[in-house]
Structure 1
Amino acid sequence: MVNSQKSPEHILVVDDDPRIRQMLARYFEDEGYRVSLAGDGGEMRNCLETQMIDIILLDLVLPGEDGLALARDIRARSDLPIIMLTGRNDVVDRIVGLEIGADDYIAKPFHLREVLARLRSALRRRQPPAAPVRSDPQSEIYSFQGWRLDVGRRQLLSDDGEEIPLTTGEFDMLCVLVKHAGRVLQRELLMDLTRGRNLEAFDRTIDAQIARLRRKIEQDPSNPALIKSVRGVGYVFSARTSRQDA
């Protein structure tokens, strides 16, 4: 159950199947969450415009605009957590979904407890600690080539102080790479360190996260100087880093 001392987190379920919507609504409400429902993109946008939503469960196949188009639109406007739901076992769809900014992917049929666990994990990753203290490893700040990575605040700042928007997956990936600078990290290890579980070893999802990061932090993403590929193995963060406590 969620903490009754604070306002319940608000979940938006977007699925064209009313049975799935109602099943998820009942389950999440029993767990103490607030739930809103939408059957298509229009209803989803209305909810987002009129209510404060904390996380979206978004079906891939919807009437009108599909889930990928809607996820792309959401990510262009906000960093709201998105968990995609799909009845299709298509690796390409999953790769595209993660590449455009979805935080997670769940295949149908699913176990409700697994959906809840992944939802809680996504929400936790979006919440910075309320009051980081000096002894907390989460308060670490890393600097490299003009960039400033604040782990506690979950911020990436450029040398002129501009905050660079990163999705949860991108931020977690960058943290792992920076903390292990100079060490070659295999894709399987990156998957474990950033997700805490095995996403069926979809190597291309890691590649997609790296490609998005490069577009945001590399001067020339086609010839990266910070995040380098190690063919057949994985990636290495090659910049010299320095660390300080916040």
Structure 2
Amino acid sequence: MKIDILTLFPEMFSVFNHSILAKAREKGIIDINCFNIRDFTENKHKKVDDYPYGGGAGMVMSPQPIVDCIKHVKENNGGRVIFLGPKGTTFTQSKANDLSKEENIIFLCGHYEGIDERVYNYIDEEISLGDFILTGGEMAAIPVIDSICRLVPGVLSSSSSYEDESFYNGLLEYPQYTRPEVFNGERVPEVLISGHHENIRKWRKTMSLLLTKKNRLDLFKKFSLSKEDIKLLKNIDKL
């Protein structure tokens, strides 16, 4: 997968030089590049923003440097242009799954009071992290890119590394435990050290259902319960 990022602060994306995504980049599974929008401005003072027509607080990113940057990147990347902005559709795990199947993606990071409306003529989609405001699109791009890249085949050791995680199948993830068996008087659930794989599977599924119902009722209501799920919830005391 090739990802190109259009930003005023390329140094913020050094986070991708570490950990799992750094290894994926070294293996050539993922190619992440940053382009500084400021390098494309025709303003002799390197300005990329100006006051909004009609008045108002703050500054607006000018169309010329953004559009020229998009055109330059498009010469070697035919992917969709995705703008990280507050007016976009809310990003979800389902969206991450869809985008992880793309070969090329271009992300545009906004700043200040936003971008000139005419830039939208060159944008394919706008994505938002949620109903809150960030200091810049870079802050939104980092988690979006990370969530997409980790689903690309070969980035993680196996698909099982993410298939049981929260949101992947519509439920929150079950509780996890590791050594020691007893910590501060609290013991690991007996079923997890029983060696009985089917009972462990049932316990984990039940815990996912219960946690989702307790913490994210909105997700639970959307989830289609199977016959086994209903049976597990009814027989929870037997686990």
Normalised by the size of structure 2, how large is the TM-score? 0.32
Q: Greater relative contact order: 1 or 2 (C-alpha under 8 angstroms, separation 6 or more)?
A: 2
Looking at CA atoms only, which structure, 1 or 2, has the larger radius of gyration?
Answer: 2
Normalised by the size of structure 1, how large is the TM-score? 0.32
